[in-house]
Structure 1
């Protein structure tokens, strides 16, 4: 099997546990290959946490889940220095928090106050945490996957723009179709039956199979191949123009000029490049074409565009702005 087949196998394995969310699974894999952090937004019960757990289960990696609550402290996330009294005398030793894992699920991140949310910023951007004046490096494979509920208002703390910009992609999870929901019912019923057999096995029952985990080195090898993908100069210009159009919308559309108040930062251009290369690699190509950019553009740009009050009043969303941008910017 090729390296591409191994990653496709990981994607298929996640899909066995998640029904009707193929696009979400593909974005999770792209984020993993591109080495970025993901913000996953959706209503309760749409398998956001389940999808992240499924990826961790089929990957040779340490997984950590942090339930964000209003009373959470930064040290609950990063860890802290603890006083120890031993034979060698009194010393402070650093006890790593749950943030020190390969895949970190920050569940309901918008329930925690800004001070706790900011504790993630250094780890997400610099891949390190500083506690008590000492810097502690994160693992080589490190990824924050944060979830949030879009409808809750009471008891939540909206993420500031600076933190939103740290997420490479903003992935939205939608309702499954009726047929997919029937498959969900059957899948959960089968899992329940399997758990009952495992808890109280009957004579002749076959032992439960342990899922095969993909080695971390496969991810690093895939990243090396993705880094070597060819990106033509016209494609670079195309990505840069898309991002520049969010900053100077009047040059492309009168409607965009009225609706877009704040454009995307250079992180958007870098994310477009990395995600487009990962998408092209998954499609089996050694070069990036406009389709790759268009496929990842909504997730890369939707959380980096600031809309005006007029846009919000008329129901013009960030996704509408991205769709308009893709239609206005000429293809290379």
Structure 2
């Protein structure tokens, strides 16, 4: 790759992040990871208590990237047809015909707000679109335009009115990001943004075409054999029958899928380019392990009783693999 292209990627990445940070303060790492996930072509799940700005973050990205945007507020009575659309009967004179009315899923950036407040049947309506970028209704299959990705928010499962997402759906998210309360100085700045007299103007920094070009650029980044081997070692270390790590053997019920390994490689490529490098380092790989794998590894009841988290186990895996 030419040096200019590499600089352009890093500059565009930095400009997009800087514009989003005008609206969202105190969440710099989350903003960067969301953009990494978008460029890597994946879906992103953000978990956090209500009121931490998850929905505002997604809306801000839609403005900065100038993407077609739809929002679905997930509730217990939401139906699959409310997401994908439905065939309706139309009468023209004496003739009756079926016509497909597209749902909000036909967009580029889909905000699935509080996704774990809907029933599993409704959540499953997203599965085909999230993985294959297609929607099947009846006998017809519709192709979603690129780029398409789902940015979903969810409340912690211990809160009332939430349903755990199916494992198959969790595996279709490239990242799971944990949104926490910002620091005091960020909260101070948040007051000025939210209650100030001047309205904040968010500018368009990139277009759909720019985003697709960045995505294609990231795909072309070469990966050294030792990086691939480390990604495989990390994947295998999450499986109790494939590792000697005590924490994994004691607390993990099911390890991560190969899709998790592919997610790590894709995200590490974008991470390297965002820092102006056309090679992926081991640190790039290690930096994306937690967001890529924390939702793909399932713990047993002993882990719940001992209050052991997937992040603790993944940090131990990284130490052993290093």
Shorter-chain TM-score range: over 0.9
Distance 1:209 1:161 in 2: 39
Aligned to 1:292: 284
Aligned to 1:57: 63
1:20 aligns with 2:26: yes
Whether the 8 Å CA contact 1:165–1:304 is kept in 2: the answer is: yes
Whether the 8 Å CA contact 1:252–1:328 is kept in 2: the answer is: no
Q: Which has the larger radius of gyration?
A: 1
1:92 to 87, 98, 103: 98
Alignment of 1:93-112 (within 5 A): 93-112=99-118
RMSD of aligned residue pairs (Cα, Å): 1.6
Give the CA deviation at 1:88: 8.4
Whether the 8 Å CA contact 1:43–1:150 is kept in 2: the answer is: yes
Whether the 8 Å CA contact 1:37–1:166 is kept in 2: the answer is: yes
| Ranges in structure 1 where 5+ consecutive residues have no aligned partner | 196-207
Aligned to 1:261: 253
1:223 aligns with 2:215: yes
Distance 1:167 1:134 in 2: 25
Distance 1:291 1:152 in 2: 33
2:38 to 32, 49, 54: 32
1:235 aligns with 2:213: no
Distance 1:226 1:106, change over 3 A: same
Distance 1:131 1:326, change over 3 A: same
Whether the 8 Å CA contact 1:42–1:150 is kept in 2: the answer is: yes
Alignment of 1:76-225 (within 5 A): 76-87=82-93, 89-190=95-196, 193-195=197-199, 211-225=203-217
Distance 1:209 1:41 in 2: 27
Task: Tell me how many residue pairs correspond in the alignment.
Answer: 316
Instruction: Provide TM-score, normalisation by structure 2.
Output: 0.94
Whether the 8 Å CA contact 1:249–1:256 is kept in 2: the answer is: no
> Could you say what secondary structure the match of 1:140 adopts?
coil
Give the CA deviation at 1:87: 4.9
Instruction: Provide TM-score, normalisation by structure 1.
Output: 0.91
Distance 1:227 1:210 in 2: 29
1:319 to 292, 307, 311: 311
Runs of 4+ in 1 over 4 A off after TM superposition: none
| Ranges in structure 2 where 5+ consecutive residues have no aligned partner | 1-6
> Could you say what secondary structure the match of 1:229 adopts?
coil
Distance 1:102 1:27 in 2: 19
Aligned to 1:200: none
Distance 1:85 1:71 in 2: 29
Aligned to 1:305: 297
Distance 2:202 2:113 in 1: 26
Give the CA deviation at 1:111: 0.7
> Could you say what secondary structure the match of 1:168 adopts?
strand
> Could you say what secondary structure the match of 1:194 adopts?
coil
2:48 to 38, 42, 67: 42
Per-residue Cα deviation, 1:28-77 (whole angstroms, up to 9, x for no partner): 10111000001100011111001101100111211111000011110001
> Could you say what secondary structure the match of 2:151 adopts?
strand
Distance 1:258 1:250, change over 3 A: farther
Give the CA deviation at 1:248: 3.7
Distance 1:18 1:125 in 2: 29
